[in-house]
Structure 1
Amino acid sequence: MSNDINQISQINSQIEAYFDGIEHTIFNGSMFAPWRGSFEVKKVYIKKDNADIKCDLDVRLQHWPEGVVVKVYKHKALAALPSVNNADIAREFLKQEPVPSKFWKETFYFSHRTDLDDARYVLREGNDMTPADADTCLTMLKGFIEEIEAILN
């Protein structure tokens, strides 16, 4: 039992370090230089004794409509999700009926992609996260930021 707890604790620490690295890259990395100074990031880490960590980074640009974010998260799975919590904003900018985000209550996709129920996932088992998976999250985040910028313009 003690060995299992130690292993979970080690995995949680590593995942938290990966997410700290993602956040650092958002604010300092060259791939996000075009938006430097415009980011708002809400970070939530939930740790429960003897349980996997849940990490959320809600990333947005200051000029985006309220509620529009790209959520990079590790709950059970590891994924990146362009979303909005207001159906009217989704309708207005996407020019279509909002598509509810699978597994996220009162959240809608803020994207023209139709495959995000599956395509948002980097890993179905987020505890297996590696540095390469963190890089994939960053690449997906950048792509979603670019798409949202195009939608808003």
Structure 2
Amino acid sequence: MKLQSYFLLIFLFFVSTIVYAGGEYWAVKVEDKISNNQPQELKLELSETPRGILQGCKRVTVQIEYQRVPVWSWLPFIGSSHPSKKETIEAVEYLNYKFSKSAQTYFGYIGGGLSKALSPECAFKSKGLKLMKIDKDNEFAVLSYYDPV
């Protein structure tokens, strides 16, 4: 009986680490070019009234400090969708392209993808970005990651 309890506990631990998901995205305009220096700073103007974590914000600042893909991500039963450094660079290049065209794009988060900064009010932290295709007119969204998903 004791051995079964340990197996159940281990199983629940692994399931709980891979089930944390969810997220959302919003229409935005990039306000400033993102530099290549670490940490990078992303400034966005929201084109719609957000709900959830960004409620009450018209402009958002996101500090991007890339974090490596988790060590355990090679395990087949755990995996990780945390973005690689290459994916983060691609997402930053895409946002800089949208800035150069003064074009609207989509930005959001997945899982625990935005962590509230201590100040100012609408400032957040991110540990990686990933470009994802969405269903709106063959458009892409840049999704922020903070905690491993």
| Higher relative contact order, chain-length normalized (CA < 8 Å, sep 6+) | 2
**Structure having the larger proportion of residues in helix:** 1
TM superposition score category, shorter chain reference: under 0.3
Structure whose alpha-carbon radius of gyration is higher: 2
Task: Give the strand-richer structure, 1 or 2.
Answer: 2
Return the TM-score normalized by structure 2.
Answer: 0.24
What is the TM-score of this pair, normalised by structure 1? 0.24
